[in-house]
Amino acid sequence: MSSAGQKPEFKEHLLNSIAFLDDLPETLEACVILGLKENAPELRSASLKLAARFEMPSNVLKFIAQLEAQEGVSKKDKVDALKVLVKHQDRLADGSIAFLTRLITDENTSVILSQHAAQVMGALRWHLLDESERDAYLKTIARARSFCLPALMYPFEHQAGINGEGEHGLNEDAWDVLGVQLAAQLERNPAVGSLPSGTVNLLRRMFSEKVSRAYAAMSEVLGDGLYTEQKQEMKLRSILQELGEGNASRGRVLFYKERLACASCHRIDSRGGQLGPDLSRIGRIREPRDLVEAVLYPSATVVNGYENYAFELSGGETLDGMIHRETREAVYLINGAMSEMRIDRKQIEHVHNSTVSLMPSGFEQILSRRELLDLIAYLQTCR
């Protein structure tokens, strides 16, 4: 890593190779700092992914905190740095929540970066936040883009798991109050109707009849599940009637735009990512209705081989993603941020198939009617 004659491509390959280790030897910890000091964005990104994968000593975390605070650091690197810090420290410095909130609520931020920011913010622990941070968090929920909302529910899910246990748990009255506050912020968000069914069911489980005021407030906001399905069906039918008005050329441009980031996960012919299904022949194998449903309600049907799994760990944490690879000692997940997460098999208490797709929901809030029709028209030409 330190050799001046080594090309950036070699260094990046070395860093990516280290990620396949189950544990990071102390002798290789220096590689992380050396990579962070490089000016090449791909090396810095690879080093931050390593820091998120492994346990890091305090000197590395201190360096990452300094990097995150520097002027001129890209938003992506800043979010990646915050991901490392929140994993190791469960807290963020003053101003970090405000920065993440801007990414989560800004319509001009790419879908991938917004979602990544929401995942970082969702890794915070509710019981460790002070009053002002909790207030800021709740207000973020009211303004969050639709596809960010599921990740923002994680702190409440974690809190529900520790309620009644030790000093950090909330009693029923406090949990009831928090549920009412959360419901109020969700109600202010126009995208609440786009919540995936898995997130809706989670909220209903967390705030059941035991906490009567929160239960009533959540029921008012979330509505009846059957009614939601009927609304979605009506939406699909109305769009199908207008499919002939879409422009495939405009749809192709839209597919590759950073704002939607479709190509970050999906490949068409030789261009695009590989986290999601290959769409090169999607227009041949899927009916128009399937295409519209997949864009608007991705959790309705998940393609075999791309299932999202939720791992409940012994410490109360829940991690979800696609299973990327496995060893005798660990399971490795990959999520929408394309970062690999290692889970020690000894920590796994329960695994279940998540009902929430890795593909972000809420595109009906992002796309205009014309843009949606154009995108579907383009996908229909992929044969």
Q: Model confidence at 174, in pLDDT bands (50, 70, 90)?
A: very high
Which range, of 49-58, 92-101, 262-271, averages the lowest pLDDT? 49-58
The whole-angstrom distance between residue 278's C-alpha and the CA centroid of its chain comes to 20
pLDDT higher than 50, residue 102: yes
Q: Which residues lie below 8 Å from residue 324, measured CB to CB, with a gap of 6+? A: 332, 333, 334, 340
User: What b-and-e string marks burial along 203-212, b requiring 16 or more CB atoms within 10 Å of the CB?
Assistant: beebbeeebe
Average pLDDT, rounded, for the chain: 86
CA-closest candidate to residue 377, choices 266, 234, 245: 245
Q: What is the DSSP string of 204-222?
A: HHHT-TTSHHHHHHHHHHH
pLDDT at 3: 47
pLDDT for residue 226 is more than 70: no
Cα 343 to Cα 53: distance, rounded to the nearest angstrom: 10
Coil, strand or helix at 343: strand
CB of 202 within 8 A of CB of 157?
yes
Q: Quick one: pLDDT band at residue 378, thresholds 50, 70, 90?
A: very high
Q: Which of 5-9, 259-263, 327-331 has the lowest average pLDDT?
A: 5-9
Q: Which long-range contacts (CB under 8 A, 24 or more apart) does 238-242 make?
A: 239/292, 239/296, 239/369, 239/372, 239/373, 239/376, 240/288, 240/289, 240/292, 242/369, 242/373
Half-sphere exposure of 103 (CA within 13 A, CB side): 23
Alpha helices in 164-240 (DSSP H): 172-188, 197-206, 212-222, 225-240
Which structure tokens are listed for 62? 């201190």
Q: Which token pair is 214? A: 């929160």
**CA distances from residue 235 to 255, 288, 291 in whole angstroms, order as listed:** 22, 14, 13
Region class of 265: left (phi > 0), else alpha (psi between -120 and 50), else beta: alpha
Buried b (16+ CB within 10 A) or exposed e, 63-101: bbbebbeeeeeeebbbbbbbbbbbbbeeebeeebbebbb
Percentage helix, strand, coil for the chain under 3-state DSSP, each rounded to 5: 60, 10, 35
Rounded Cα gap, residues 230 and 74, in angstroms: 43
pLDDT of residue 223: 77
Residues 289-305: what's their mean pLDDT?
Answer: 87
Q: How far is it, in rounded angstroms, from Cα 371 to Cα 251? A: 7
Dihedral, 10, 13, 19, 24 alpha carbons, nearest 10: -10
Of 18-27, 89-98, 255-264, 307-316, minimum mean pLDDT range: 18-27
Q: And the tokens for 41?
A: 């964005």
**184 and 173 Cβ atoms separated by less than 8 Å:** no
Tell whether the torsion through CA atoms of 68, 69, 70 and 75 is positive or negative.
positive
For the chain, the residue count is 383
* Pairing mode, strands 271-272 and 267-268: antiparallel
**What Rg value do the Cα atoms of the chain yield, rounded?**
21
What pTM was estimated for this model as a whole? 0.78
